[in-house]
Structure 1
Amino acid sequence: MKTNLTLANKTSNLNFKSNTNQVLIQQIRNATLKISYAGTIFLIDPMLAPKGAYPGFEETYRSELRNPLIDLPYTISEIIKDVDAIIVTHTHLDHWDDAAQEFIPKHIPLFVQNEQDADLIRSQGFINIKILDNNTLFNNIHLSKVGGQHGTDTMYAVPDLAKRLGDTMGVIFQGKDIKTLYIAGDTIWCDETTRVIGNYKPEIIILNTGYARLKNFDKSIIMGKDDVKHAYQTATNAIIIATHMDAVNHAMLTRKELHEYITKDGIDDRVLVPNDGETIKI
């Protein structure tokens, strides 16, 4: 499988659309990705505010830091240019923020996980909201909602914390003559992760790997470096792409540390860790 990781610039960002059998994945910032799949452009989990716009997340590590920790690599107009649809895996601020609500056109198709998220985003003025199911067709692309768990069983046993963590989803992209893509979303590795990989056999897997930590808990609410290795060993024919790093206060795993880990363990042949603004072409 030939895979190129190339540095995108503002000119190439303006010509982002792929051929119908290609996948382009552009790391924007945090979990925000711009994906061209079978010629259709999706914006995933847009967090579009400038550096330092929001307080750090309460009761998390390094909460004294303001989010986002870094600026966007492009202007908002460049990021949303030519986007055909938005996917919001859940409505936490670092996946759907005030700036996204302000600047994204209110009529654009916007996919969410459930009626609760649809109601919230509808109240923000958006008029073309679609709830994903296990086979939603959009522009001849099959989009399937899959599950996840945004924290450990111990965390979800605390009612107030369970409410804060809430529900989240992953998404499977499938099309004719194009590789199957799995966006895991904000989840730890759980039985559902293994089931999704076994059932759909994705050839491209995007993992949120910042190892985000709450205070008073010794585990993360999303994946980390060991989960990258687990994915590499579980999905033996897949390219693994790591995102959701270096941009919010509670994400403890850095790209530098992940690069060192995958190199030391010899799994860097199928694991890619794009910087903000970089594009992967598969």
Structure 2
Amino acid sequence: MKIQQIRNATLVVEYPGKKFLIDPFLADKGTYPPFPNSVRQDQYNPLVSLPASLDDILSGIDAVIVTHLHLDHFDDTAKEVLPKEIPLFVQNEEDAEEVRKAGFQQVMVLEENTEFGGITLSKTKGEHGRGEILKLAGLVCGVVFSHPSEKTLYVAGDTVWYEGVQEMIEEHQPEIIVVNAGDNQFLEGGSLVMGKEDVHQVAKAAPEATIIASHMEAVNHWILSRQELSSYLQEKEISSQVFIPEDGASYTF
């Protein structure tokens, strides 16, 4: 297995015999207005450039997984540049209909045990915030990758730590976990994704797993920096368990 951090929540995952693009946010730096009611209203999204050319990022991609349809997970550029015939997995039929409207021809809804090329893709629970903000944030999912010859990978998606994540860890026993850990927030409503304490909870729930912190410092409403998370992990003595990749970095397991 090889996991490459592209930018924000965008990942390229190479898993036995297949190459997946997850949550493609592919526009040039500064293409979109800042998310409203949040910090850095003077900075346009994405805040940073892609670490490689689109051709390089898309080379050899066999399938795309979109955990939900927020702009920073499936943007206009992705809709334009991705081949319309590529297999594309989404969380539910409502998202599938929206993606089909963009011209994609092989749109499939993730289930508990979706098979693709000998790989099992399992949709997982997620909560995109806590309390009232959930009504605005909408439904999200994550995905577990499993294969007899490979370690189990859990990509948690845009979720905070809550009992559903605990359940997914207990059910699937992942050896590699990717969490979205920028503690992104609006000025009212609290965290939309994991902050440093949430990451700590994941580490405690899966002490044998390796954790990768994604979704950091790429859109204007991020709160938790890579440096702050790194310092916190050292304080909690779990820095060897949690990787904080720069954009473009990759890991082979």
The amino acid across from 2:170 in the alignment is G
Structure 2 residue aligned with 1:166, among 128, 132, 138?
A: 138
Matched residue SS, 2:186: coil
Matched, 1:102 2:80: yes
- Matched with 2:196 is 225
- Matched with 2:220 is 249
Structure 2: where are the runs of 5+ without partners? none
The amino acid across from 1:170 in the alignment is G
Q: Write the distance in 1 (CA, Å) between the matches of 2:75 and 2:24.
A: 7
The amino acid across from 1:106 in the alignment is K
Matched, 1:274 2:245: yes
8 A contact 2:161–2:202 mirrored in 1: no
Matched, 1:181 2:153: yes
Aligned residues: 253
Q: How far is 1:281 from its partner? A: 0.7
Matched, 1:150 2:131: no
The amino acid across from 2:191 in the alignment is S
Q: Write the distance in 1 (CA, Å) between the matches of 2:52 and 2:89.
A: 24
- Matched with 1:85 is 63
Q: How does 1:50-89 map to 2 (within 5 A)?
A: 50-89=28-67
Q: Write the distance in 2 (CA, Å) between the matches of 1:95 and 1:154.
A: 22
Q: Identity of aligned pairs, percent? A: 46
Matched, 1:135 2:107: no
Q: Write the distance in 2 (CA, Å) between the matches of 1:166 and 1:63.
A: 23
Task: Compute the TM-score of the two structures, normalised by the length of structure 2.
Answer: 0.98
Structure 1: where are the runs of 5+ without partners? 1-22, 157-161
Structure 2 residue aligned with 1:126, among 87, 90, 104?
A: 104
Q: How far is 1:105 from its partner? A: 0.5
For residues 115-142 of structure 1, the C-alpha deviation after alignment (integer angstroms, 9 at most, x for no partner) is 1111111000100101000000001000
Matched, 1:205 2:205: no
Q: Write the distance in 2 (CA, Å) between the matches of 1:78 and 1:194.
A: 36
Task: Compute the TM-score of the two structures, normalised by the length of structure 1.
Answer: 0.88
Runs of 4+ more than 6 Å apart: none
Matched residue SS, 2:168: helix
Q: How far is 1:236 from its partner? A: 1.3
- Matched with 2:236 is 265
Q: How far is 1:191 from its partner? A: 1.2
Matched, 1:193 2:193: no
Bigger shift: residues 264-273 or 140-149: 264-273
Q: How does 1:35-54 map to 2 (within 5 A)?
A: 35-54=13-32
Q: Write the distance in 2 (CA, Å) between the matches of 1:272 and 1:209.
A: 11
Bigger shift: residues 27-36 or 59-68: 59-68
